[in-house]
Chain A
Amino acid sequence: MTFPRRGYADGPFGQVHFQDCGGDGWPLLLCHQSPMTSRQFDSVYGLFLEKGIRAIGVDTPGFGNSSPPDHVPTVEEYATAFPSVLDHLNISQAAVLGHHTGALIATEISLQFPDRVDSLILNGPCPFTEEELVPWREYVNVHEKNFTHKEDGSHLQEMYANRWQWAEPGSDPALYTRYVVESLQGLGPFWYGHHAAFEYDHNKTLPKITHRTMILINTGDVIYEQAKKAHTMRPDFEFSEIQGGGIDITDQRPEEWVELVSNFVRT
């Protein structure tokens, strides 16, 4: 079996689904972007294992196979589900990495459960201004909240096109098909993740982080400038960047990405 082992922990909103590489390596919790699942990290689990790191991907509540909250959740609330996985696996402390929405959740995990976090990796922090948030909230309204299902199936093609616009030339349509399916497979509405992300104020919480932290970004990421801004706010954080890529960096540059994360986690 080349897959990580999957399992469930009991969390505040019901069952929390995770993928665990196992082994004796240092534990690294992985928080995915919206609207995806722990499969966002399918290309890197094996690479972490080779580096001696025990990567554990968690499905955010309502995504993948994790039970959804019974209300529209906040980033603060999402964070409360993650220690359940550490408890279930008898892990007292882990490095925590989050990508995009996951970076916000990772921030909240470090603030709410400081004892459970060893170090923090923010892959795409988001200290947006209110003005900058306007188009992002509009995106959620148009493409996610108002997503309607049509008799001719054209909504699936539209959703695919909307996801494919972020693809690098030469990307695999089968992979982007899986991304679309990840959006649609969840047990909760798929707009909850981005909605929570764009209501969250990272400007207020970035200054409160006390853990050893690395900002990780790639120059082709649509929120690259936000990472530069976050580093200006916290020059004490380490800063690593990958050239090019897009929002799917874990599939686009898996080796380079794992190398940078592993070097930070192990030092």
Chain B
Amino acid sequence: MHKLSRKEIIRAAAITLTTLLGTQWTMSQSVIGTFPRKTESNILHQQRGYAAGPYGQVHYLDTGGDGPPLILLHQSPMTLRQYENVYGLFAERGYRAIGIDTPGYGQSDPPSFVPTIEDYAPATVAVLDHLAIAKADVIGHHTGALIATEVALQFPERITNLVMHAPLPLDDEQRAAYMKYTEDTEINLNPRASGEHLAELFRSRNSWSHGQISPTLVTRYIAEALIGYGPFWWGHNAAFKYDHSLTLPKISHRTLVIINTGDAIYSNAQVAMQMRPDFEYIELAGGGGDIVDQQSDAWVSAIVAFLND
């Protein structure tokens, strides 16, 4: 019997601990630390990097390869990790998926002023330039769908197809309600010595996913919300001040609206389709604000079907 190295002993001890302590422990140590989804093909090729953008550095993740490039823009207040479960799925279907941290979120530098959706758009193009990509499909979820719209309008020659998960043509009453939510849970979040603010933020965030997301993953969402270099309310603030009703009619690219019936802004997608019956439309049943994690395969399949059509 060969003498065990220190490394082998520690590994064996870790496996034993996992067995002894059971599933919950395994979740707590693995899910937060999973980046990206652990398929071999994926881990080998995913590269994170920085592009020089209009407000400083723009952080991205690129699955690489020769496939058609596809940009993923995240919701607020999250980061490119929102798409952790789908980078590999897009890569397996032959696409080069590129996630971008919106300025002020994740590792991207914040603007020096309170930004609008229009201001966020040029950072996306900075990544395309850095990677020498002339044209890409652009996919956005919630706030990301609004940024994607602005990329399409401001830089039409850089976009092939547009995919919006949950467009947001708001009426005045809805706009006021969402701004109040942003004020109550984000702008007025007051860090206290008791740490209660973190539990409050967790509960508020947990309510979006209708109990369908593990507390471990929601914990990562909270870390995503708070890790940025900018105030985490900027994204929702920009989103709820943006008037999608004015810009939806201007979109000239081939466009897919995708929505899930459990999304809080499901009805806004119906309004968008009335405005633009020429857009393609797909809906998934159920889910919530975290559909990318709730129905990863179905979500990717629906988008790929549109892009390949």
Contact = CB atoms under 8 A, between A and B. Distances in A.
A133 interface: no
A15 B47 contact: yes
A233 B214 CA distance: 49
Contacts of A172: 191
B180 interface: no
A84 interface: no
Contacts of B48: 8, 15, 17, 65
Contact of B219 (A152, A156, A189, A191): A156
Interface in B204-252: 206, 211, 214-216, 218-220, 222-224, 226-227, 229
B201 A153 contact: yes
Contacts of A208: none
Contact of A177 (B33, B216, B226): B226
Interface in A148-196: 148-161, 164, 167, 172-174, 176-178, 180-182, 184-191
Contacts of B202: 152-153, 156
Contact of A185 (B191, B199, B214, B223): B223
A173 B192 contact: yes
B35 interface: yes
Among A156, A172, A176, A184, the one with the most B-chain Cβ atoms within 10 Å of its Cβ is A156
Contact of A188 (B27, B33, B107, B194): B33
B56 A68 contact: no
A57 interface: no
A178 B29 contact: no
Given A164-B193, A184-B220, A7 B50 contact: yes
Given A65-B48, A151-B206, A153-B206, A5 B57 contact: yes
A157 B196 contact: yes
Contact of B33 (A68, A71, A199): A68
A146 interface: yes
Interface in A100-156: 145-156
B33 A186 contact: yes
Contacts of B21: 145-146
Interface residues of A, number: 53
A3 B229 contact: yes
A6 interface: yes
* Majority secondary structure of chain B interface residues (helix, strand, loop or mixed): helix
Contact of A72 (B14, B32, B57, B109): B14
B33 A189 contact: yes
A148 B24 contact: yes
B49 interface: yes
Contacts of A1: 56, 109
A46 B214 CA distance: 40
A62 interface: yes
Contacts of A181: 222-223, 226-227
Q: Which range holds the interface residue count of chain B?
A: 35 or more
A229 B199 CA distance: 41
Given A148-B28, A152-B203, A164-B195, A184 B223 contact: yes
Contacts of B194: 157, 161
Nearest to B223: A184
A180 B191 CA distance: 12
Given A3-B229, A164-B193, A177 B198 contact: yes
A262 interface: no
A149 B32 CA distance: 11
A71 B8 CA distance: 10
B219 A149 contact: yes
A240 interface: no
A226 interface: no
A13 to B, nearest CB: 11
A150 B199 CA distance: 10
Contacts of B220: 184
Contacts of A5: 57
A189 B195 contact: no
A149 B215 contact: yes
Nearest to A172: B191
Contacts of B193: 164, 167, 173
A203 interface: no
A71 B107 CA distance: 26
A178 B25 contact: no
A74 B14 CA distance: 13
B33 to A, nearest CB: 5
A174 B191 CA distance: 5
A15 B35 CA distance: 12
A-B pairs with lowest CB-CB distance, top 4: A153-B202, A160-B195, A149-B215, A156-B198
Given A149-B28, A151-B215, A156-B222, 13 more contacts: A8-B50, A72-B11, A72-B14, A149-B214, A151-B211, A152-B202, A153-B198, A156-B198, A156-B199, A181-B222, A184-B219, A187-B33, A187-B35
17 contacts: A6-B57, A7-B50, A8-B47, A71-B7, A72-B13, A72-B14, A148-B25, A153-B198, A153-B199, A153-B218, A155-B219, A156-B201, A156-B202, A161-B194, A182-B227, A186-B32, A191-B29
